[in-house]
C-alpha cells in the first residue's frame, strides 16, 4: 500500500489523538485502544490504524508507523511522539498534540476568514465581467456594427474579447485549458519561488512573518516540553515557516546556541522582524527556568496580534476592493454607454 499519499482531515486527526490519549490515560493498552477505534473507523483513518496495529504487533514504535504518512503527521509531531515514547509520557503528549492541532486549526480558520471577503469580491467581479462579455456585448455590438459607428478603443477591446469567447469558443477553451495546465505545472515545479515572491511583497510579508512567529513559538514550546534539545527543536521548526527571513533567523539561532549562547541572544540579532516583547518574555523565561511557559505566552500574544492585524486589513480592504471593482465595472459599462450616448446625440442633432 502506498502510504505517502494517504491524508486525513483536521477533525479526524483531532479525534484520533483525543481518543488515543483518553484510552491510554484510562489504563487501556495501545493495541486495545486501536482495536476499539478500528470498530468504528473507515476510509483513510481505518487504513492508518490497521497499519499502526500491524507495526506495533511487529514490535515497532508509534513514531515509526506515523512516519509512513507524511501528509498526515509532520516531522514535529513525529519527533514529539518519539520523545514521549522514550520518556513514557505518551498519553499526556497525545493530548497536547490534539490541543495544538485545535489551536492551529482555529488560527488557520481566522486567516482564511480574513481572505474570504477579498476572494468573494474577485469571484463576483469575474462573474459580472463574463456575463457582460457573453450576454450584453454580443447584442450591443450588432447595433454598433450595423450602424458602422466609430467606436472608442475600450469598446473595441470589449467587442473583440466577446467575439473570441462567443464565436471562437473551441479555440478559446483550448488555449485557456493549455494556459491553465501550464500555470499548474509552473506552480507545481516553482511553488517555493512563487510563494517566496508573494510572501516578500510589501504588506503581505509583515503578516506572513507574524503568522510564522506564532507557529514557530507554539511548535518550539511543544518540542521543548517533550524533552527535545533546543537545537533539534529549532531545526524541526525551520521547516514550518513560510518567510525566508524567519527561516534564516531560526537557522542562525541554531548556530548561535551551538556556541553556548541563549535563544534570546539569537533573537536579538533579528530585532527587525522579532518583536521586542517576544525577546523580553523569552529572556525572562530563560532566567527563571520556565522557557516552555514563556514560549506559550509569546505564542498566545502573537496569535492575538495576528488576529487583530487581519481584522484591520480586512476592514481596510473592503472599501478599497469595492471602489476598485466598482470602478472597473463602471468603466466597462461606460464603454458600452458612451457610443450609445453618441448615437443619441447624432440623432438628436439630425
DSSP 154-199: HHHHHHHHHHHHHHSHHHHHHHHHHHHHHHHHHHHHSHHHHHHHHH
Cα gap 250→237, rounded to integer Å:
8
Confidence at residue 177, expressed as pLDDT on a 0 to 100 scale:
92
Report the candidate in 230, 134, 264, 242 with the shortest Cα–Cα distance to residue 197.
242
Confidence at residue 345, expressed as pLDDT on a 0 to 100 scale:
67
The percent of residues above 70 in pLDDT, for the chain, comes to 97
153-207 confidence digits (pLDDT tens): 888 888 888 888 888 888 888 998 999 999 888 878 877 777 777 777 776 788 8
The percent of residues above 90 in pLDDT, for the chain, comes to 7
Residue 43 banded pLDDT, cuts 50, 70, 90: confident
Cα gap 127→121, rounded to integer Å:
10
**41-59: average pLDDT:** 89
DSSP 283-323: HHHHHHT-HHHHHHHHHHHHHHHHHHHHHHHHHHHHHHHHH
**136-150: average pLDDT:** 79
Confidence at residue 1, expressed as pLDDT on a 0 to 100 scale:
63
Angle (CA) 14 20 71, round 5°? 50
Domains of the chain (ranges; CATH) run: 3-102 (1.20.81.30), 204-309 (1.20.81.30)
Is 293 a residue whose pLDDT tops 70? yes
Is 349 a residue whose pLDDT tops 60? no
Residue 346 banded pLDDT, cuts 50, 70, 90: low
Confidence at residue 121, expressed as pLDDT on a 0 to 100 scale:
83
Cα gap 51→54, rounded to integer Å:
5
Confidence at residue 314, expressed as pLDDT on a 0 to 100 scale:
76
Angle (CA) 299 303 309, round 5°? 145
C-alpha cell at 115: 481572505
List the helix and strand counts (H, then E) for the chain: 16, 0
Average pLDDT, the chain: 84
Is 317 a residue whose pLDDT tops 60? yes
109-124 confidence digits (pLDDT tens): 877 777 777 788 888 8
CA-to-CA separations, 207 to 242, 243, 310, 312, in angstroms, rounded: 11, 10, 8, 11
238-259 confidence digits (pLDDT tens): 888 888 888 888 888 888 888 8
CB-based burial label for 172 (10 Å; 0-12, 13-18, 19+): middle
Is 350 a residue whose pLDDT tops 60? no
pLDDT: which is higher, 197 or 37: 37
Is 91 a residue whose pLDDT tops 90? no
C-alpha cell at 163: 467575439
Q: Which residues contact 319 (CB under 8 A, 6 or more apart)?
A: none
Amino acid at each position: 500500500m502506498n502510504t505517502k499519499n494517504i491524508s486525513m482531515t483536521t477533525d479526524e486527526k483531532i479525534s484520533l489523538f483525543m481518543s488515543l490519549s483518553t484510552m491510554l490515560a484510562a489504563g487501556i493498552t495501545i493495541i486495545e485502544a486501536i482495536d476499539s477505534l478500528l470498530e468504528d473507523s473507515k476510509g483513510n483513518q481505518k487504513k492508518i490504524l490497521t497499519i499502526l496495529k500491524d507495526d506495533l504487533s511487529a514490535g515497532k514504535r508509534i513514531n515509526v508507523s506515523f512516519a509512513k504518512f507524511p501528509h498526515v503527521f509532520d516531522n514535529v509531531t513525529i519527533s514529539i511522539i518519539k520523545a514521549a515514547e522514550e520518556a513514557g509520557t505518551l498519553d499526556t503528549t497525545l493530548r497536547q498534540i490534539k490541543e495544538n492541532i485545535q489551536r492551529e486549526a482555529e488560527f488557520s480558520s481566522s486567516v482564511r476568514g480574513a481572505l474570504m471577503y477579498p476572494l468573494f469580491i474577485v469571484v463576483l467581479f469575474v462573474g459580472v465581467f463574463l456575463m457582460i462579455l457573453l450576454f450584453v456585448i454580443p447584442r450591443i455590438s450588432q447595433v454598433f456594427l450595423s450602424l458602422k459607428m466609430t467606436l472608442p478603443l475600450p469598446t473595441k477591446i470589449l467587442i473583440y474579447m466577446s467575439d473570441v469567447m462567443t464565436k471562437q469558443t473551441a479555440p478559446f477553451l483550448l488555449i485557456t485549458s493549455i494556459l491553465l495546465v501550464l500555470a499548474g505545472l509552473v506552480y507545481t515545479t516553482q511553488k517555493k519561488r512563487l510563494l517566496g515572491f508573494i510572501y516578500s511583497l510589501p504588506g503581505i510579508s509583515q503578516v506572513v512573518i507574524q503568522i510564522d512567529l506564532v507557529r514557530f513559538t507554539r511548535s518550539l514550546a511543544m518540542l521543548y516540553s517533550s524533552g527535545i534539545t533546543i537545537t533539534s527543536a529549532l531545526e524541526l521548526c525551520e521547516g514550518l515557516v513560510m518567510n525566508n527571513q524567519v527561516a534564516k533567523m531560526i537557522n542562525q539561532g541554531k548556530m548561535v546556541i551551538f556556541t553556548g549562547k541563549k535563544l534570546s541572544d539569537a533573537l536579538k540579532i533579528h530585532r527587525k522582524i522579532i518583536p521586542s516583547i517576544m525577546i523580553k518574555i523569552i529572556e525572562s523565561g530563560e532566567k527563571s527556568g520556565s522557557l516552555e511557559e514563556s514560549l506559550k505566552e509569546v505564542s498566545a500574544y502573537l496569535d492575538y496580534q495576528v488576529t487583530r492585524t487581519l481584522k484591520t486589513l480586512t476592514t481596510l480592504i473592503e472599501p478599497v476592493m469595492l471602489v476598485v471593482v466598482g470602478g472597473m465595472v463602471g468603466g466597462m459599462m461606460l464603454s458600452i454607454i458612451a457610443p450609445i450616448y453618441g448615437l443619441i446625440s447624432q440623432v438628436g442633432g439630425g
